[in-house]
Structure 1
Amino acid sequence: MRLIRIFPDDSKFRFTRWRALSFPFSAAISVLTLVLFLTVGLNFGIDFTGGTLIEMQAKAGHADIGAVREAAHSFEVGEVEAQEFGQGGQISLRFRTQPGGEQAQSALVSRARETFEKDFEIRRVETVGPRVSGELVQSGTLGVVLSIVAVLGYLWFRFELNLAIGAVIGTLHDIVLTVGFFLITQEEFNMTSIAAILTIVGYSLNETVVVFDRTRELLRKYKNLPTEELLDLSINHTMSRTVMTATTTALSLLALVLFGGQAIQGFANVMLFGVVICTYSAIFVSSPMLIYLGVTTSTRAAADDKADAAAKAASLSKPGAA
């Protein structure tokens, strides 16, 4: 039985020539990310800023989110987030940390109970203080940094120097553009966002390793092929797998975005963006970058000839060698 091929095995698309567009595009987005990070900043959620979360269930089975939001804003306690989640009149209210410490937070919770308990069942009240939120920021940042260091270390030992540097650049590129997504869209950045970033790092690593493994194989096989043609060949050889993986993952995430509800929509949005960016990066950023990192078929051929000569000399130097 013949297997279905989404992308032809004998395709000869010249992907590397698009680096004239992909490199400036990625550089522009990276610069924009840096500017927004320094000027606008991330939209930190209650996990990092501290505050109070109240989850309620409408007794009537449905709720007027507009009326709830208006009532919450009438408290005049600063920014308030009111969102529906799940089904059947479930609403979450998020209040920022109030001046006055725990006493002010407790007064806010009491006022919210008095206002909404007639029409709603208060199911959950969670307060995160400034100290706890600061510890979460430190722990989350440390977790991301250590994970990235571990991934980069793996890439360094997994490939030769030039290929490893290309893989590292590709992974960092995906992280920067993911942070740019948070800055541009002002999607709430919380502990779930950190989980999304770490998942994207893993996906990026997977995409890059697949393409670079084929590149390394072809470097050994075609020692006289021009470097650009060899890189295009490695991308074309792995394109069916890349398209199938990206398509199935994106369809699953799209279902979560459309039908998953408010509770996981933020995570799904970031992951869907990450899949697109990682696929784009593996094809149009990481692989063409090898051209500028000195990965050439002639260099590989010289290295292989040198290794063969050294092995032959070692075998002849052994006692009893003919």
Structure 2
Amino acid sequence: MKLLKLVPDNTNIHFLRWRMPFYIVSVLLMLASYGLLAVNGLNLGVDFVGGQAIRVTFTQDAEAPIPALRDEVDALGYGEPTIQQMGNPNQVSLRMRLPEDDADGGLAAKMTREIVSTIEQAHPGARIDGVESVSGQVSSELFTSGMLALGLAMVGISIYIWLRFEWQFGVGALFALLHDVTLTLGLFSLTQMEFDLNIVAALLTLIGYSLNDNIVVYDRVRENLKKYRRMPLPELLDLSVNETLSRTVVTSLSLLITLLALLLLGPDVIFGFTAAITVGIFVGTYSSIFMATPILIWLGVKPDSFVPTKDSAGDEPDGVTRKA
């Protein structure tokens, strides 16, 4: 049975020894993500920018003829389309912005009919899988509400941890959540995968998972701060992370196996959602160990903030008999 354990008992990994290199790398990745967002932006879906989205499958082609399709649609005079491959090479999502001054939707309907007719004539056998339409005003409101939901969720979680533990823990959790969301958004900006309401839901799910992981580690830190009041803080944090490492690894790996199966075998409609959660769980597990915990040193967490417990003999534990 010992061979089946992912994490051996009584691990003694010195995570905090490498806190500075990991922090430098993480901060650089966050800055790179902000740069990508500023330069490339996000490939916003129709939910957020408004327009017509047409999903097409080229049944007689191994790969969608994207350059030819872009030229054919652009020649209609409605503007250059945004075309993105979906799960399979022969499936694409073609997005067009709504025509201006189209109060009754007549121009949008005409544009869609012409695009669909052009695709069917130029590519016999092509299948139109669906057409979606969202107005620009509704899209703007959806994007604002989605970003507001993300911000309020992060702030609310930090306040909760602040009240449950100490303010340093709330700041540490907020930084870890900001790290996770930023890197996930950076990946979407880099790959230009479509960012829609499903991805906002994935980010909220990621925030909840990261919070759960952080609280598990923080609970153990608080217990050890009460128990080992004379242990140096870096050693105490290492001890806490090592004691929760088995739970963290097993939980994350179990979820990742399921998500990888969905990425490879699941339907295309949830590909972006699954990709966001997969990346989020990976960086969330990383941040709970290398971001949320080491920052407590710089924020000045002290055992004096917690009420000490007594051992069975009535004396305060020595706290230096075991190093992490």
1:288-299 alignment, distance < 5 Å: 288-297=294-303, 299=304
Q: Who is 1:106 aligned against?
A: 109
Relative to structure 1, is the Cα distance of residues 241 and 128 closer, same or farther in structure 2, using a 3 angstrom cutoff? same
Higher helix share: 1
Q: Who is 1:160 aligned against?
A: 166
Relative to structure 1, is the Cα distance of residues 32 and 3 closer, same or farther in structure 2, using a 3 angstrom cutoff? closer
1:75-154 alignment, distance < 5 Å: 75-76=73-74, 77-81=79-83, 83=85, 92-101=93-102, 102-116=105-119, 119=125, 122=128, 124-154=130-160
Q: Who is 2:64 aligned against?
A: 66
Which stretches of structure 1, 4 residues or more, deviate above 6 A after TM superposition?
Answer: none
Relative to structure 1, is the Cα distance of residues 56 and 187 closer, same or farther in structure 2, using a 3 angstrom cutoff? closer
SS in 2 for 1:223: coil
Q: Who is 2:181 aligned against?
A: 175
Q: Deviations over 1:61-110 (max 9, x none)?
A: 655653577345312131232545689x8764332333453343222111
Relative to structure 1, is the Cα distance of residues 29 and 54 closer, same or farther in structure 2, using a 3 angstrom cutoff? same
Q: Contact 2:81 / 2:94 at 8 angstroms: preserved in 1?
A: no
Report the Cα distance in structure 2 between the residues aligned to 1:285 and 1:84, rounded to whole angstroms. Answer: 34
Report the Cα distance in structure 1 between the residues aligned to 2:214 and 2:158, rounded to whole angstroms. Answer: 12
Q: Deviations over 1:7-55 (max 9, x none)?
A: 1221111111111211111111122222232333222122111111234
Which of 274, 278, 284 in structure 1 is aligned with 2:290? 284
Q: Contact 1:223 / 1:300 at 8 angstroms: preserved in 2?
A: no
Report the Cα distance in structure 2 between the residues aligned to 1:176 and 1:131, rounded to whole angstroms. Answer: 26
Amino acid across the alignment from 1:75: V
Relative to structure 1, is the Cα distance of residues 41 and 163 closer, same or farther in structure 2, using a 3 angstrom cutoff? same
Q: Contact 1:83 / 1:91 at 8 angstroms: preserved in 2?
A: yes
Q: Does 1:232 align with 2:277?
A: no
Question: What is the CA-CA distance between 1:218 and the residue it aligns to?
Answer: 0.7
Question: What is the CA-CA distance between 1:254 and the residue it aligns to?
Answer: 1.0
Relative to structure 1, is the Cα distance of residues 215 and 50 closer, same or farther in structure 2, using a 3 angstrom cutoff? same
Q: Does 1:36 align with 2:36?
A: yes
TM-score normalised per structure 2: 0.82
Q: Does 1:219 align with 2:221?
A: no
Q: Contact 1:167 / 1:208 at 8 angstroms: preserved in 2?
A: yes
Report the Cα distance in structure 2 between the residues aligned to 1:129 and 1:40, rounded to whole angstroms. Answer: 23
Question: What is the CA-CA distance between 1:194 and the residue it aligns to?
Answer: 0.4
Q: Deviations over 1:108-146 (max 9, x none)?
A: 111133234574565532211211211211221222222
Q: Gapped runs of 5+ residues in structure 1?
A: 306-322
Q: Who is 1:11 aligned against?
A: 11
Report the Cα distance in structure 2 between the residues aligned to 1:157 and 1:273, rounded to whole angstroms. Answer: 29
Amino acid across the alignment from 1:93: L
TM-score normalised per structure 1: 0.83
Stretch of structure 1 that moved more, 19-28 or 69-78: 69-78
Q: Gapped runs of 5+ residues in structure 2?
A: 310-324
1:192-211 alignment, distance < 5 Å: 192-211=198-217
Relative to structure 1, is the Cα distance of residues 185 and 56 closer, same or farther in structure 2, using a 3 angstrom cutoff? closer
Stretch of structure 1 that moved more, 156-165 or 271-280: 156-165
1:300-315 alignment, distance < 5 Å: 300=305, 304=308
Structure 1 or 2, whichever has the larger Rg, is 1
SS in 2 for 1:115: helix
Stretch of structure 1 that moved more, 160-169 or 117-126: 117-126
Q: Contact 2:60 / 2:125 at 8 angstroms: preserved in 1?
A: no
Amino acid across the alignment from 1:290: L
Report the Cα distance in structure 1 between the residues aligned to 2:50 and 2:194, rounded to whole angstroms. Answer: 13
CA-based RMSD of the aligned residues comes to: 2.7
